[in-house]
A and B are shown apart, each in its own frame.
Chain A
Amino acid sequence: MNKLTVSPSPHIKSSQTTEKIMWAVVISLIPAGIAGVYIFGISSLNVIALSILSCIFTEALFLRLRNKELKAVLDGSAILTGLLLAYNLPPETPFWIPIAGGMVSIALGKQIFGGLGQNIFNPALVGRAFLQISWPVYMTAWKTPRWWPDAISSATPLSKEAGAHFNYMDLFLGNRPGSLGEICVIALLIGAIFLLVTKIISLHIPLSYIGTVGIITWVFGKEGFFKGDFIFNILAGGIILGAFFMATDYVTSPLTKKGRIVFGIGCGILTAVIRLRGGYPEGVCYSILFMNAAVPIIDRFTKTKKYGIIKK
């Protein structure tokens, strides 16, 4: 008879690994990328490729400097950061914009805090915020879909100078100027459903985030009290991409369900306030970064009760 196995806990292990999760998110983002390249033309593929390559090279450099195994480059996290960064960029930029963004994302957003799992802020959004502040001209030169008559336009549906009215179907399918990966809502939703079905993300953050933005823009919208166009506000801009793929990042979002709902509502309030009253037309990037900073305190106040403890 075999002896009983003696080992320290945990005894039951999930088959889920960091690599599997990262690659699943990468796969779920592919439909939106295909849609973006189809809408803006093949040149936007350059942005995606340069961004990913820059992230991988920076990651490898830092792993080397920190005497870690180079194999960790392929855990998918650097590729995911590069992909998300590219989706947040205008579809046509000077070649060095995605390269600089990738370097900042990995170096200043992730590795300087200690690498995977240690970063406070979402690396891709750190890169985007840096680019937005440093080179605002290039970061707001929006290309229009390739079948539109004029090639470069400076107005996304959310900016105040956007004259044309966009109908909901155009916004849903992505027939509008905007960032590379944020425009095609249907493609993003396909990816999001895949992540929900495989239980990689839960609905708490996206629902509370999108719901809060919807309610605030409905009540306080431009069109009048309780008359705001909330469907437009949800479909235009980067909320779908931000809520499903970036606010749900494991490292930079709260641990508990209650905390996640608080986090989503906070992101929603900030996004809506920046859009309605702020200087920028879009606030998804900054609102998620802001709430990332609040995650430790949210976690502290939403601790779950220990099993068996009676509340006095």
Chain B
Amino acid sequence: MKKLIKEFFKGIGSENPIFRLVLGLCPALAVSTSVINGLGMGIAATFVLLGSNIIISLIRKSIPDQIRIPCFIVIIATFVTIVELMMKAYAPELSRSLGIFVPLIVVNCMVLGRAEAFASKKGVFVSILDALGMGAGFTLGLLLISAIRELLGNGTLFGFLILKGFEPVLYLVLAPGALLVIGLLIGGINFLSAKRRSV
């Protein structure tokens, strides 16, 4: 039981996809301009991760080793298509603002990485926990980055004006701002964990 809980929480903490594994940075950089976008991308990626982990773990014994990557991609692409069509039907505005980055989940290193490193080797139940943990870690990371960028770069959170009379730092909503925020967050997290280890 303890091991299962660890399997879930490692995605949020010690193996956080954005801050620890530094995977899936492309969407993390591109769509973290507002909290809504970040949340939408996080949930979409979590759904794809969950679906692909379950299927890959179920059929892991019948996938030939030589062509495992194409197999993973086909499975992942199926779930991405589902997400994309669902989003277009029920959240057209979110779909417009995320744009190309929803179909690009197909080649997200985080999803493929979990399929290769985890789901193709472990059972279904742990793969589900792994997918949920990783998805939660990814979503939380996106929320943190996009909250910082939206609050300081636009003065809003979830589209509501929070900082009145504050001149927004345009830099942070532009592309270099994403690199800066992620870099500083990774640096800060490394600093804190190094400090904790040395104590």
Of the candidates A133, A134, A136, the one having the most CB atoms from chain B within 10 angstroms of its own CB is A134
Q: Which chain A residues lie closer than 8 Å to B187 at the CB level?
A: 112
Q: Does A147 contact B (CB under 8 A)?
A: no
**Chain B residues closer than 8 Å to A108, beta-carbon distance:** 180
> B170 near A135 (CB under 8 angstroms)?
yes
Chain B residues packing against A (C-beta within 8 Å): 167, 169-172, 174, 176, 180, 187
Please, how many angstroms separate the alpha-carbon atoms of A96 and B165 in the complex?
Answer: 13
Contact status B167-A133, CB under 8 Å: no
In the complex, the answer to whether B176 meets A135 with C-beta atoms within 8 Å is no
Residues of A within 8 A of B180 (CB): 108
Is A220 in contact with chain B by the CB < 8 A criterion?
Answer: no
Q: How far is the CB of B172 from chain A (nearest CB, A)?
A: 8
CB neighbours (8 Å) of A135 from chain B are: 167, 169-170
The chain A residue sitting closest to B152, CB to CB, is: A134
Q: Which of A123-138 contact B (CB under 8 A)?
A: 130, 133-136
How far, in Å, is B186 (CB) from chain A's closest CB?
Answer: 12
Residues of A within 8 A of B167 (CB): 94, 96, 135
The interface residues of chain A lying within 8 Å CB-to-CB of B176 are 133
Cβ of B167 to closest chain A Cβ, rounded Å: 6
How many of A's residues come within 8 Å of B, CB to CB? 9
Instruction: List, in ascending order, chain B residues with CB within 8 A of A136's CB.
Output: 170
Can you name 17 A-B residue pairings with CB atoms under 8 Å? A94-B167, A96-B167, A108-B180, A112-B187, A130-B171, A133-B170, A133-B171, A133-B174, A133-B176, A134-B169, A134-B170, A134-B171, A134-B172, A135-B167, A135-B169, A135-B170, A136-B170
A112→B185 CA distance, assembly (Å): 13
Q: How far is the CB of A119 from chain B (nearest CB, A)?
A: 15
Chain B neighbourhood of A130, CB < 8 A: 171
Chain A positions 136 through 156: 1 when the CB is less than 8 Å from some CB of chain B, otherwise 0: 100000000000000000000
Chain A residues 280-294 with CB under 8 Å of chain B are none
CA distance A134 to B149 in the complex (A): 12
- Closest residue of chain B to A97, judged by CB? B167
Complex interface: chain A residues within 8 A of B169 (CB): 134-135
The closest CB in chain A to the CB of B166 belongs to A96
CB distance from B189 to the nearest CB of A (A): 15
Q: In the docked arrangement, what's the CA distance between A136 and B169, Å?
A: 10
Specify which of B170, B172, B180 lies most central, judged by the most chain A CB atoms within 10 Å of its CB: B170
Complex Cα spacing A94 to B187, Å: 32
Residue-by-residue, is A95-114 near B (CB-CB < 8 Å gives 1, otherwise 0)? 01000000000001000100
State A108–B184 Cα separation when bound (angstroms).
10
Q: Given the complex of chains A and B, what is the CA–CA distance between A96 and B176 in angstroms? A: 22
* CB of A104, distance to nearest CB on chain B (Å): 9
10 further interface pairs, Cβ-Cβ under 8 Å (given A134-B171, A135-B169, A136-B170) = A94-B167, A96-B167, A108-B180, A112-B187, A130-B171, A133-B171, A133-B174, A134-B169, A135-B167, A135-B170
